[in-house]
Each structure stands twice: as structure tokens, then as C-alpha cells.
Structure 1
């Protein structure tokens, strides 16, 4: 049996390690919940907190202003914030009160009015009311 050189053994070890590393799922893939991938804020249509609900709109840009949501988001049933550190401020249609806050990695539902505007902020805590 021929002797392998140290360099050849190292090359085989590195190739094996590289193959093993590339087969591992990324944290974002491993933590997707309700079909909503990290780092998105997803508007969902269907049963609350159910894997059968569908993502109908999603947002990921952090802004210092409110974005008007799309018609699909406006007709959604609930929201999932998959972000780890960022909160979401959500305004409902014709709402005269302050927007409500959705903490990181949490959900929110509504029943009477549809969402009209969204703002993703880098703060994680929601102010107490």
C-alpha cells in the first residue's frame, strides 16, 4: 500500500471538512417559522399560528417612516415578526390611536380593521402603555 504524504492527507481532510460544512443548514433556514424566513416580517392569511397559513406579503427594510402596505398585506389575518432584534410598528386602517408594537420573534392578530402601514425599527422593546 503506497504511503500518502502529509500534504495529501491534509488535502483529503480539508475536502472532507468542507463538504460537511456546506451540507449544514444555515441558521435562517433552520429557524423559519410559519413559512416566514428570517429576517422578514410576514403578513399571513389563514389559521392563526398554523403551518397551513400562507405568507401573502413580507417586508424586511428597517425605516424611520411608515410604509403603506400592499393590498395583499391589507387583507391578511395576522403577522409574524421573524426578526431577532427588531420590533414592528403596525397601523390599522382608519385607526386614530397610536400604532401597536410587535416584538421580535412574535405574532399579532387583528379582527376588525386591516393593517395599512408598517415600520420596522432596530429597537426590540415595545413601550408599555
Structure 2
């Protein structure tokens, strides 16, 4: 009886170890693939300065969808915005009321935002549409 119990325990432990190893391997690859420009999926990332962009260090990230979100001091005057949400667009509303669309998987053109011809970015709305 003890041998049967011991064998059962060893087999169960082996199954658990194989399951843990498989989970670790399957979890590692998507996490690495899901990060681009230092921006984890599913987020819209803001890079305040050129140095932040070059270092792949977002200064603000957003992931809630479906409503206008007021941008804070770490995102309002950002130089680059990257949308890691492949199937969702990100609308940026400027002070002037004009909106820009950052399509899924795209960035604003590098260093586009400092021009601010339409004022600072005020709000973000993540849309359930790749093209906004």
C-alpha cells in the first residue's frame, strides 16, 4: 500500500512539475512579444521627452476604453504616443477640440507632438476600432 501511495505521489509530482514548466515557458514568450518600445500590451503609452522615447521608458500609460480620459502632467505634453493595442484605436483630443487617431500598433510620427499647433493634448479615448 505504501508503494502504491509513493508511486502515485511521484507521478502526481511529476505531472505538477511538467505543468509548472509548461506554464512558465508558455507565459514567458507572450510577455516578451507583448512589449514594444517599453510599452506593455494592452496600453497606450506616452513618452514625455525624446530621452524617454529613446530609453523606451513611458512616462504615462492608459488602458481603459470607451470614455474620454483626462491626461495628466506625465502625458499632456508628450513627444511620442504609442498604441500597443493592435485592434483598438486611440483618439487624442487637443485643446482646440481637434482629434488625432493613433491606430492600433502605431506611433505618432516621432517628435510630432511638440509642434502643438492645436494646443496641448487634453484627453484620450481608446476606441473599439483599429482606425478610431
Whole-angstrom distance in 2 between the partners of 1:13 and 1:83? 38
Q: Which of 30, 34, 41 is the aligned partner of 2:33? A: 30
1:36-81 deviation line (CA, Å, top 9, x unaligned): 1111111112338954142111111112x32221011112111011
1:10-55 deviation line (CA, Å, top 9, x unaligned): 4244133123123221624432112111111111123389541421
Tell me if 1:61 matches 2:64. Answer: yes
Question: Superposition pairs for residues 71-90 of structure 1, below 5 Å?
Answer: 71-90=73-92
Deviation at 1:9, TM superposition (A): 6.1
Name whichever structure is richer in helix by fraction.
2
Give 2:125's aligned residue.
119
Query: Can you give the 5+ residue segments of structure 2 that lack an aligned partner in the other structure?
Result: none
TM-score by length of 2: 0.74
Kindly indicate whether the alpha-carbon contact (under 8 Å) linking 1:92 and 1:117 is maintained by their aligned counterparts in 2: yes
TM-score by length of 1: 0.76
1:80-101 deviation line (CA, Å, top 9, x unaligned): 11112111011122x243x111
